[in-house]
């Protein structure tokens, strides 16, 4: 029987490893300790690794919507700049209701909520907030002509409606401690535009709204007035997931500091919240002044381009005035420039090399308008085709099609400008736009846009047929 030979046990210090192998084995042994309980990438690392940042938002005027040239909105533009700062792409996830935003964030469907969200003590318990970028006050609004409430006590017995899960609801909950008779209805299926319309129509008595949103919408709801403002201001900030990981928050702080210093933040605020132009007595005076000062050197260009494309120069000039007040160097934060305010993308598609050159801008504007005009169904007769093409110039062909579909659903003719025009305002009301293919649009602006151009057009026709001295006679003379 063969006996077993036992090998002597060696101490670790007696084992000789080849050069480099010892360090490798030590690393393998330590791996479980290095990664145990800490193997998750930070939020920032995940974004950088994926190459994209997802923004959770709502479809509406104060956050995100599809404009004539693509995605836009104050929150969208700010987050887009943040994604550029990080060097990643931006993706959008739109919640159907305001109170769904936190659910989507918890499920990891996005990295941040950017939806006109105010930072409140209650929300600080469930979110990590980025830096404040806008301060607003909360306004109580009522229907003009009704008894004006002076304070919360005057709201008792009034029909009040607010958005569920909003800071407005939180404000009413706090006020209820002092005013136990205060009652309200919270709704998750309405947007702020729908509530303003409800106040305007008398369907409800009161709603609460941020001052910035009120300034953005007030001219389109003339029956709505401010009753009073709640004490203090409400800071707006992006909401990030709660927890110890603040890597993205820190990046947001650095970005926002830069955006304040280089003017990006202020430019966005001015672009989206400045009062919109309306053609009133003052507007008419300004138009006539520019007819005298700016139009004369541009008039031959408008005529030559219009003649080359079979257009009416007076319509082309009216579009140019509405877009830029005939300022060749006009520019907006969103990137549109020149007399016809063309985007860089549109100019490139049209083969233009300098949007600030009046001849190129007017030529490009004419061709762009005619492209839209050609896409209007052939069965639609003039002048309805032209008015629809103008609306598309302002808000995009997609939203015009939504308006036509909505018009047909409501019993109107989608081929009639009068019928479509009556429904444009509905594109900004969640009750209607949530079921449309392309969502929210500032239809009220498109309606005003077309009305303004028609007014300018009529004035130019009137002036030309009467050989008005404000127009340059030789420029109007036929060749």
Task: Please list the active-site residues.
Answer: 323
Q: SS3 for 28-59, per residue?
A: HHHHHHHHCCCCCCCHHHHHHHHCEEEEEECE
Write the DSSP symbol of residue 100: G
Tokens representing 95? 């919640």
**Nearest in space to 430 (alpha carbons), one of 142, 75, 65, 56:** 65
Backbone angles phi, psi at 235, to 5 degrees: -75, 140
- The CA distance from 419 to 416, in Å, is 5
- The CA distance from 76 to 89, in Å, is 13
Long-range CB contacts (within 8 A, 24+) of 321-327:
321/287, 321/290, 321/456, 322/449, 322/452, 322/453, 322/456, 323/365, 325/286, 325/290, 325/294, 326/290, 326/294, 326/295, 326/298, 327/294
The H or E element that residue 471 is part of is none
**Nearest in space to 214 (alpha carbons), one of 151, 268, 273, 145:** 273
- The CA distance from 47 to 248, in Å, is 9
Reduced to 3 states (helix: H, G, I; strand: E, B; else coil), residue 389 is helix
Residues facing 210 on adjacent strands: 138
Tell me whether residue 242 is exposed, middle or buried, using C-beta atoms within 10 angstroms of its C-beta: 0 to 12, 13 to 18, 19 or more. Answer: middle
- The CA distance from 74 to 215, in Å, is 14
**Where on the phi/psi map is residue 409: left (φ > 0), alpha (ψ -120 to 50), or beta?**
alpha
The H or E element that residue 465 is part of is helix 443-465
Residues facing 89 on adjacent strands: 52
Q: Which spans in 65-110 are helix H?
A: 74-86, 101-106
Residues 6+ apart with CB under 8 A from 197: 221, 429
- The CA distance from 411 to 464, in Å, is 40
Q: Report in angstroms the alpha-carbon separations of 107 from 96, 130, 166.
A: 15, 19, 20
- The CA distance from 449 to 393, in Å, is 9
Q: Report in angstroms the alpha-carbon separations of 223 from 17, 203, 277.
A: 87, 13, 19
């Amino acid at each position: 029987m063969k006996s077993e030979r036992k090998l002597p046990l060696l101490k670790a210090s007696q084992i000789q490893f080849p050069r480099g192998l010892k360090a490798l084995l030590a690393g393998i042994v330590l791996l479980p300790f290095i990664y145990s309980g800490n193997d998750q990438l930070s939020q920032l690392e995940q974004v950088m690794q994926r190459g994209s940042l997802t923004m959770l938002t709502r479809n509406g005027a104060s956050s995100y919507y599809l404009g004539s040239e693509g995605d836009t909105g104050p929150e969208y533009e700010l987050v887009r700049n943040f994604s550029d700062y990080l060097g990643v792409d931006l993706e959008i996830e739109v919640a159907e209701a305001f109170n769904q935003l936190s659910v989507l964030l918890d499920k990891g469907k996005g990295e941040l909520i950017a939806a006109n969200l105010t930072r409140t003590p209650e929300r600080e318990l469930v979110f990590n907030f980025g830096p404040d970028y806008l301060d607003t006050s909360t306004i109580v609004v009522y229907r003009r002509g009704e008894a004006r409430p002076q304070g919360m006590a005057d709201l008792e017995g009034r029909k009040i409606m607010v958005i569920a899960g909003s800071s407005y609801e939180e404000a009413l909950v706090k006020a209820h401690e002092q005013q136990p008779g205060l009652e309200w209805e919270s709704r998750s299926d309405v947007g702020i535009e729908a509530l303003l319309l409800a106040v305007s129509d008398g369907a409800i008595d009161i709603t609460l709204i941020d001052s910035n949103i009120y300034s953005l919408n007030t001219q389109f709801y003339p029956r709505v007035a401010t009753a009073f403002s709640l004490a203090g201001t409400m800071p707006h900030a992006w909401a990030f997931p709660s927890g110890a990981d603040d890597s993205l928050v820190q990046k947001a702080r650095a970005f926002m500091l830069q955006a304040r210093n280089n003017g990006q933040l202020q430019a966005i605020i001015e672009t989206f919240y400045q009062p919109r132009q309306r053609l009133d007595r003052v507007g008419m005076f300004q138009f006539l002044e520019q007819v005298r000062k700016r139009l004369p050197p541009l008039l031959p260009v408008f005529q030559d381009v219009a003649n080359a494309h079979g257009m009416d120069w007076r319509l082309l000039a009216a579009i140019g005035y509405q877009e830029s007040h005939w300022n060749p160097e006009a520019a907006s934060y969103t990137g549109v420039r020149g007399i016809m305010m063309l985007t860089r993308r549109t100019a490139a598609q049209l083969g233009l090399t300098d949007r600030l050159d009046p001849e190129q801008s007017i030529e490009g504007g004419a061709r762009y308008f005619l492209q839209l005009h050609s896409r209007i169904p052939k069965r639609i007769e003039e002048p309805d085709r032209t008015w629809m093409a103008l609306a598309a110039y302002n808000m995009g062909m997609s939203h015009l099609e939504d308006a036509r579909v909505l018009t047909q659903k409501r019993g109107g003719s989608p081929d009639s400008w009068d019928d479509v025009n009556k429904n444009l305002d509905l594109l900004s009301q969640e009750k209607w736009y949530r079921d449309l293919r392309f969502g929210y649009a500032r239809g009220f602006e498109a309606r005003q846009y077309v009305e303004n151009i028609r007014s300018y057009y009529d004035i130019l026709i009137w002036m030309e047929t009467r050989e008005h001295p404000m127009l340059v006679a030789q420029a109007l003379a036929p060749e």
